[in-house]
Amino acid sequence: MRGDETLTAVGNTPLVRLRALEPEGGAEIWIKLEGGNPTGSYKDRMAISVLGGAMRRGDLRPGDRVVEYTGGSTGTALAFVSAVLGLRFTAVFSDAFSASKRQAMAAFGAEVLVEESHGQGITPDLIQRMKARAFALAGEPGSYYADQFGSPEVRAGYEPMGREIAEALGGQVDALVSAVGTGAALMGAADGLTQAGVTAQVIALEPLQSPLLTTGKGGAHRVEGVGVGFEPPFLDRGRLSDIRAIDQEQGFEMCRRLARETGVFGGGSTGLNVVAAIQLAQEIGPGKRVVTFCCDNGGKYLGGHIYG
């Protein structure tokens, strides 16, 4: 395939200790810097898994069109992998998400269709409208629905992330914590830990402003990529030790603190992750290790409400 060696740049990201934010007498906090992937997010892992798998099976051929509805990170990753594999990509997007994500998809040659949010933020209604539009397009001849909420290859794409964590920490991981959109990154990484013989608590997070998983009722929030307004398809509640709702404003403040005090530069989901990782580190105590993700690169959020 033309240029497909670019795909080897995905994965094997650094795992660093967030010493400066560890509570006194608490556990170690480690963060996997996924912003170092080619499109600046861990979504590159799943895009390779899904599109590479479909091409190997012959379900997708060069020149075919891939369709997905997306808040932008998934779309940018699918646009990148589509460009490398000679596929076309159409994203159903919304103005509720960062303009820079729309531009990034377009930079990789994607067609971007924008569903209006009418200033309401990310709501369950908006997500449903985006989904319906993507479904309709995916039904057209020569189109392939990437199915970020259904394809088993989405969760499998994150297994290497778990194995990388296990290897970097010599197999000692006590808790893995992350905010969930599809739930694939958290569960796939947990699968990778299991494959490496590691047993860790797994904790899922959602924005307090849309506490669907913890209370049954979603709402409008501003944390991109998570809190999708329905049960995350890959979330295996039987594998979770806990689900926590974290205040988005504390998360955004944590993003700013992370950049200033540690140099870790992420988006809103990373802010939620670190707020919860600090809570857990306090709870599980010394000699233990909490691991979380810096899901993507903060540069995507410049000019928005987090960094201004």
Ligand X SMILES: Cc1ncc(COP(=O)(O)O)c(C=O)c1O
Positions in 129-158 near ligand X (CB under 6 A)? none
Q: What is the rounded CA–CA span in Å between residue 249 and residue 254?
A: 8
Binding ligand X (rule: CB under 6 A), the pick from 11, 38, 75, 183 is 183
What DSSP line would sit under 248-270, residue for residue? HHHHHHHHHHHHHHH-----HHH
- Please give the helix or strand (H or E) that residue 176 lies within, else none: strand 175-179
Closest to ligand X by CB, 4 vs 236, is: 236
Which residue do the tokens 């998983």 mark? 213
Positions in 68-97 near ligand X (CB under 6 A)? 71, 73-74
Tokens linked to 167: 């290897």
The count of residues interacting with ligand X (CB under 6 A) is 19
Of 3-11, 58-66, 183-191, 194-202, which segment contacts ligand X by CB under 6 A?
183-191
Of 81-89, 162-170, 177-185, 195-203, which segment contacts ligand X by CB under 6 A?
177-185
Closest to ligand X by CB, 37 vs 182, is: 182
Measured between its terminal Cα atoms, the distance across the chain in Å is 41
Q: What is the rounded CA–CA span in Å between residue 246 and residue 231?
A: 17
Closest to ligand X by CB, 130 vs 179, is: 179
Is 268:240 a contact under the CB 8 Å cutoff? no
Smallest distance, Å, CB 285 to ligand X? 27
Smallest distance, Å, CB 80 to ligand X? 14
| Listed residue (206, 60, 229, 221) closest to 130, CA to CA | 229
Is 295 near ligand X (CB under 6 A)?
yes
Closest to ligand X by CB, 64 vs 274, is: 274
Instruction: Tell me the CB-side half-sphere exposure of residue 242, using CA atoms within 13 A.
Output: 16
Is 11 near ligand X (CB under 6 A)?
no
Q: What is the rounded CA–CA span in Å between residue 7 and residue 244?
A: 34
Positions in 218-257 near ligand X (CB under 6 A)? 224-226
- Tell me the residue ranges of DSSP E strands in 86-174: 88-94, 111-115, 143-145
**Binding characters for ligand X, 43-72, by CB under 6 A (x = yes):** ----------------------------x-
Is 210 near ligand X (CB under 6 A)?
no
Is 267 near ligand X (CB under 6 A)?
yes
Binding region for ligand X (CB under 6 A): 41, 71, 73-74, 179-186, 224-226, 267, 269, 295-296
